[in-house]
A = this chain, B = another copy of it.
Amino acid sequence: MLFETPSTDKPDLIGKPFKKVHTVLDLHVMVSRWKDSGETIALVPTMGGIHDGHLSLIAKAQSVCDRVIASLFVNPTQFGENDDFETYPMNEKMDTKMLRGAGVDLLFLPSLDEIYPKGFSTSITVSGISNELCGAHRPGHFSGVATVVAKLLLQILPDVAIFGEKDYQQLMVIRQMVRDLNISSQIMGVPTKREKDGLAFSSRNLYLTVKERIIAPKLYRVLCTVAEVALKQPTNLKKICEKAKEDLTKTGFSSVEYLLVCDSETLKPLEKIEAHARVFSAVRLGKARLIDNVPICF
């Protein structure tokens, strides 16, 4: 864990120089200045709704580079027709305050037109890993993610870009894309930051009612149980996952989209435990779609 205390207890860094830019042109001015003076740059892309999970990414960024840029852009192309684009919980004022408080040097807050100007017509697809897990349930989602992340990386060309392992499949899709397209940035993953009761920090937790919030941490506990039991019964994965799905439904989750043990590189479902395995799940709980994953450690 990179932060042990909630964000409000962190030292006040408001006194540090902080800049907010809205255009790629203004972004380039700052980035060039830093690069010319030999400073390294880390990028933390966000869609706002800033929480302690994001702040753990910022902390990692600060530990590996001289300068940290956070971007804040709710990317419409990664939302499906029935997804929550319209209600996604970004709050520019609060998000800016939290990122500034965490010591971010530059916040890039582009408009929709700045990212997708008139005539925009390019998309990036990573086949294979994009089709598993969430990809099977959210067609076009990872193509939207890959395209916007490529743009952000190429606008800044940071030394490092940082993503949370909570969105593990996203991290893997971006890693593959960056490798395939020879983008010069290093992609770093940061372990999932959790509430004390185990619930992974997520902007979408805000959708939960008080009652649902009590049920939600059960997802993490069930995933940990699957990881434990799978080690003891390495060839019995199908039954273990079926049992876990029943547990989740009984506990009060509205539905289980998937719960699978997969290879942590290819994300293909495994029939028996192999060297690199991970448990992945997506569930519905009231208005929220929650995802989580845990490694299976030997």
Give the contacting residue for A181; candidates B122, B127, B184; CB below 8 A: B122
Asked if A151 lies at the interface with its beta carbon under 8 angstroms from chain B, I say yes
Give the contacting residue for A122; candidates B121, B125, B154, B157; CB below 8 A: B125
What is the bound-complex CA distance between A151 and B180, given in angstroms? 8
By secondary structure, the A interface counts as mixed
Asked if A120 lies at the interface with its beta carbon under 8 angstroms from chain B, I say yes
Contact with B along A154-180 (1 / 0, CB 8 A): 110100000000000000000011001
Give the contacting residue for A150; candidates B24, B126, B181; CB below 8 A: B181
Give the contacting residue for A129; candidates B121, B182, B183; CB below 8 A: B121
User: Taking the full assembly, how many copies of this chain does it contain?
Assistant: 2
Interface residues on A, range: 20 to 34
Asked if A206 lies at the interface with its beta carbon under 8 angstroms from chain B, I say no
What is the bound-complex CA distance between A72 and B177, given in angstroms? 23
Please, which residue of chain B has its CB at the minimum distance from the CB of A183?
B154
What is the bound-complex CA distance between A57 and B197, given in angstroms? 63
Given known contacts A124-B124, A125-B125, A24 and B182 CB-to-CB distance under 8 angstroms: yes
Give the contacting residue for A121; candidates B119, B151, B157, B180; CB below 8 A: B180
Top 5 A-B residue pairs of the complex, sorted by shortest distance between their CB atoms: A122-B180, A154-B182, A121-B127, A155-B182, A121-B128
